[in-house]
Amino acid sequence: MEKMSLTALAREQLELAGTASSGRSARTIYGGHEHVLRQTLIALAAGQRLDEHENPGEATVHVLHGRVRLTAGQNSWEGRSGDLLTVPNMRHSLEALDDAAVLLTVAKLG
């Protein structure tokens, strides 16, 4: 059993994102390429985005801090601290409307 504070990790990653030239930072906190389940804490400075990309499997975005916009095709959904967004099975992007930290959970298909 392992325990960690998502609040502390979000704070740490937000600080790193704030000083990074890309305006973002990420840390895999569970799983990886050899596992079906992977959880990654991603921090984005306000206005930064993860450009449109394919969905590698079933995925959710749990907003830990700030506000984000998930866009897929012509649809978009805003999420704020405490919200859980289900990532549609299509190309999508994620934009930070404020400084934001999210927990991305992915279960790879096949």
Chain segment 48-63, per-residue pLDDT in tens: 999 988 877 899 999 9
Domain assignments of the chain as residue spans, ordered by start: 6-108
Neighbours of 78 (CB within 10 A): 14
CA distances from 11 to 42, 43, 66, 89, 100 (A): 11, 9, 11, 30, 10
Mean pLDDT across 23-38:
90
CA distances from 62 to 66, 81, 98, 102, 110 (A): 11, 8, 15, 5, 24
How much is the pLDDT for 110?
64
What digits encode the pLDDT tens for the residues 64-110? 999 999 999 999 999 999 999 999 989 999 999 999 999 999 998 76
Q: Which CATH superfamily is domain 6-108 in?
A: Jelly Rolls (2.60.120.10)
Average pLDDT, the chain: 93
pTM assigned to the model: 0.92
User: pLDDT tier at 32 (50, 70, 90 boundaries)?
Assistant: confident
Q: How many CA atoms lie within 13 Å of 71's alpha carbon, on the beta-carbon side?
A: 12
Neighbours of 14 (CB within 10 A): 20
The angle at the Cα of 74, spanning 53 to 88, to the nearest 5 degrees, equals 50
